Structure 1
Amino acid sequence: MTRMSLRLAAGALAASLTLAACGSSDTASDDTTSTTGTGGALSVAVTDPGQLIPGRQTVAYDFAMAVWAPLTWVDDASNLTYIQAESVESDDATTWTITLKDGWTFQDGTPVTAQSYVDAWNTVAYGPNAFENSGQLAHVVGYGDLNPAEGEPTTTEMSGLTVVDDLTFTVQLDGADSQFPMQLSQAQTAMYPMPESAYDDLDAYNTHPVGNGAFELTNDYVENEPLVLDAYADYQGEAPTVSQITFVPYTDTATAYTDVLAGNIDVSDLPADKMAQAEADFGDHVYSFEAAGISYLGLPLSDPRYADVRVRQAISMAIDRDTINDVIYGGLYTPATAFTPAIEPGTPEGICGELCEYDPEGAKALLDEAGGFAGSMEIYYPGGVGLDDLYTAIANNLRQNLGVDAVATPSTDWAEFYQTRLDGDAPGPFFSRWGALYPSQQNTLRAFYVENGGCANCIPWYDPEVASAISAADAQVDGTEAADAYGAVQELILAEFAAPPLFFETYNFVTSDRVAELTTSAVGNPDYAHTVLAEDA
């Protein structure tokens, strides 16, 4: 089995968080030689995206990372380098100056300017547009004006954004934030620019988006139809190693897995229920990337049956994470012992203590102390993505160890699950996970524990003291001190234990024989533009 580990060293991360994140990178990302791609075509199984606009997409990360180029990039050694940005600098971690590289164009031939970024960020942040990734911009001064608590906004622009010249703009944040340069990296898609033509008709733009990246879309988006991307000849960044990427939508991950095995498609996520057999099926064409992902069992905290912290703790202690990991995940995951992934520097591994350890007798005693649990417990998860065995096992654990009438219930598909959770209508405990968009505890903690932080209703518990502690950690300029401060936030989370953490995740993929090497980055997503194909592919 091919195992590629992405271990982010705290020292390396600290170096990447220096206040003046400036200077030129000597990596290939500074290569301004235009190219049409040096290799062949690659096909990738995906979930139908629905939304392609980077400020709106929720499952089209791979598409976005091919069609757009970010300002910065965090590589698999946690080094911060530059792509579209020439520099990102600040004297106080509150006001940042972003300077762009000259000569870059969108795929419609128009120049990428500072105004391109400011217009795009304002559009994403403008409340009435209801862009799903708006929260990524929540700490820019003026975001609240675009998202008032009551009524319509009286402005369409954030006061914290200022265009200095064609290639320079400044960003004023609502407080010091040493992590800001990383927030501009590849997976924070709300930070991507859009061309002027996008604003004529955003619905039309979603059908055929134009970006500033290495690949351009050749066909219009049609639901459940493949998206074909060709290398953009005038791309000013690092040359891609493939000339074409086709994203093929699947409604069932098991079918995608079978198609890769048959050679009908080149890459697919490895479904959870196939992990135990994947090595036998694919040999060294299984890729397991250690990445900043963590899963929880979300709880419907508006239901009074979950109000007592002992109920929440008992549920956690009744789940046999080790056996689930061995039997279902083939040992590829790690039972969670903290509230952020272990790969994120400063994560206090082991802080969860006995609350994350399997203790069925202790769990039952704790539930009895809390007065028991009345009625049935419906555990809700997205159907069709290989999670059936996991949630059936959790339901069995809770039924056998707590005497609760627990049953696992799948949604019809991801879209139904996402909307149900977003509306706060999950009927019981539910699937909850986050893959950090940059390798810092900040992103995971904000996503789960700050309202509008990224993962809406994943853990519907937002405590002002926790939010304040996260902000205090943000202000730590030194990378090591920041990592320690985020770790201290977890003591506050532990006291309330709003939801049980389940697993530190790896991101797992299977490939056809046409793929010689699947490359990745610090966020764990494959870097499809730089996939190495077999010589005879």
Structure 2
Amino acid sequence: MGRSSRTARLLAACSAALVLVVGACADGDGAASDQPDGAEPSPVSGGVLRLAIERPEHLDPALARSVPQSELIVADLLFDGLTAYDDQRAEVVPALAERWGASADQRRWRFRLREGATFASGKEITAAEVKASLDRITAEGSASPAAPGLARITKVSATQADLVTIALDAPLATLPEVLSNPALGIVPASAGPVGTKRFDLAPDGSGPFVLADDDNGLRGDDAIRLRRARGADTLLDGVELQIHEELADAAAAVRQSEADWSLVPDDELGAEEKGRSDDPFAAMLFYGLNANHPDLGDVRFRQAIVRAIDRESILEEVYDGTLVPRNGVVPIGVPGAAEDPCGERCAFDPERARALVKALYPSGGVPTVAIDHDDGRHQQQVAEAIESDLEAVGIPAEPRSRPFLSYIDFVGDDSQEMFRLGSTGAYPSADAYLSPLFAAAGADDAVGLTQPNVEAALAEARSTPDPEQRFRLLARVERLTMREIPVVPLGQFRTPSLQSDRTQDLELSLTGTFDAPAVWLSPNP
């Protein structure tokens, strides 16, 4: 049970027994360091990492969402999938599956399970358990947000006790990346359908940490205590999940030395303080331009809109520079992202925007562009800034705000014009961002832009086993789509967080999780 750390580490002499008292190996008098002055400290084992998090609604990984981010973090602590993703190496690595391979047409995959892997209960993780785990997510009526990522699966088979075979209805060379999603962590067949309350409250995990023997999971009030799983290769003895209703309270716990790590709330974006880190997050913010709307069907008008908007000023004034400017829809750092997919077409140039508007509407009659957005504070500010920039070049604009939940229902009914949109890929590949937006059968095809050459390039990428060649194909797709200006790109989010001095090697991945087995606590912070 549990996965291997990214790098082999020598464990120090601190007791490997479970210690539920916070900092049992890291606090107290501590031993004098044997490290020479100025030398990098060596990792030591022991202690309990204290994470201050927003209250997760679920512990079942199949229900984990990126908001609240705590759900993916908890899923990654309690469960392993068949594969995992290593940000440092930018590649998929083994987790419960020790190796895998595909047929020449990338439509049939086999995953060989790691020997000795068990659930927290001690039950062996077999191919039959993996099949049941994936089947519950793809079952009709499943409420799992991870289900669309498995839409191409036609059958999962337990070919042997340790061999899982997955058949697909079309080539998918990125299936190992798809399966690295923490929401696809393997659960026992006894878990029942997605949403079964008993399992959701106190699950039987497959990951590096398990619920402590006396912990009640989500039945408890203000903390969930985890211990190292049997046989797990981790440096920590355990993890204490301190539950908070508000992120501000979680961050305050770190500042008061009551916790070791937390996220930072939006209203504290841009602040500088000790222990603060702003790590790239694999989520994008942009405004879609509905090419099916009669007022936005001409690419020249869409180009006038994007050239009119001072996007860097918006990011600086509204988001205090905490978003990274990006001229595309795939985040920087995701394999297959093009370097500058929109290029000069998206450059801020109000004079060129005015000229385009005048050429398109020489006699006037420029249509009013509706700026659709949810009622979040930042989104209202962005919409107001866009309205000002558009009207400055002669494009009338009208912000239209909706409550968040009704806005989600509104997007996609084809009446939206220029509308707030964003994406968080379900797995670390450009395909996870491009296909939902631009494939004919894409789940989020709200921009109304499908092109035969884009469809062909996406299909070729999914059929290409060589990663580097696939990345080049996907980068080409992003450049092709951005030529048509389907979106006004704004930027890539960051994950702002705080951590204590004693916390070592806690590095957030693009998905906002971290390699918990590699984290350790310094005895001499």
Could you tell me the TM-score, scaled by structure 2's length?
0.78
User: Shift of the alpha carbon at 1:503?
Assistant: 1.4
Match of 1:20 in 2: none
User: Does the residue aligned with 2:192 lie in a helix, a strand or coil?
Assistant: helix
- Please say if 1:58 is aligned against 2:47: no
Letter in 1 for 2:389: N
Quick check: which has more Rg, 1 or 2? 2
User: Shift of the alpha carbon at 1:374?
Assistant: 4.2
User: Shift of the alpha carbon at 1:259?
Assistant: 5.4
Q: How does 1:75-474 map to 2 (within 5 A)?
A: 75=86, 76-92=88-104, 93-140=106-153, 142=154, 158=155, 161-185=156-180, 187=181, 189=183, 191-199=184-192, 202-204=195-197, 205-217=199-211, 218-221=215-218, 226=222, 228-234=224-230, 236-241=231-236, 243-246=238-241, 248-250=243-245, 253=247, 256-257=250-251, 260-263=254-257, 265-271=259-265, 273-276=267-270, 278-279=271-272, 282-283=273-274, 285-299=275-289, 303-367=293-357, 369-370=359-360, 374-375=367-368, 377-381=370-374, 383=376, 389-407=381-399, 409=401, 411=403, 416=405, 419-420=408-409, 424=413, 429-450=418-439, 456=444, 459=447, 461=449, 463=451, 465-474=453-462
User: Shift of the alpha carbon at 1:485?
Assistant: 1.1
User: Shift of the alpha carbon at 1:519?
Assistant: 1.8
Counterpart of 1:501 (choices 474, 489, 492) is 489
State the number of aligned residues: 479
Contact (CA 8 Å) 1:208, 1:220: kept in 2 or not? yes
User: Shift of the alpha carbon at 1:457?
Assistant: 5.8
Contact (CA 8 Å) 2:5, 2:517: kept in 1 or not? no
Letter in 2 for 1:494: M
Contact (CA 8 Å) 1:317, 1:357: kept in 2 or not? yes
Contact (CA 8 Å) 2:73, 2:512: kept in 1 or not? no
Letter in 1 for 2:205: G
Instruction: Point out where structure 2 has 5 or more consecutive residues left out of the alignment.
Output: 20-45
Q: 1:488-531 CA deviation, whole Å, 9 max, x = no partner?
A: 21243134322222213443323345544532335453335544
User: Does the residue aligned with 2:77 lie in a helix, a strand or coil?
Assistant: helix
User: Shift of the alpha carbon at 1:49?
Assistant: 4.3
Deviates more, 1:55-64 or 1:98-107: 55-64
Counterpart of 1:68 (choices 79, 83, 103) is 79
Q: 1:275-332 CA deviation, whole Å, 9 max, x = no partner?
A: 33x22xx13x122334543322134566544333334333322222222344444545
Counterpart of 1:44 (choices 43, 46, 52) is 52
Q: What's the C-alpha RMSD, in Å, of the aligned pairs?
A: 3.7
Contact (CA 8 Å) 1:214, 1:240: kept in 2 or not? no
Contact (CA 8 Å) 1:313, 1:500: kept in 2 or not? no
The 2-side partners of 1:360 and 1:434 are apart by 28
Contact (CA 8 Å) 1:83, 1:237: kept in 2 or not? no
Deviates more, 1:504-513 or 1:61-70: 504-513
The 2-side partners of 1:477 and 1:336 are apart by 28
User: Shift of the alpha carbon at 1:396?
Assistant: 4.0
User: Shift of the alpha carbon at 1:137?
Assistant: 0.9
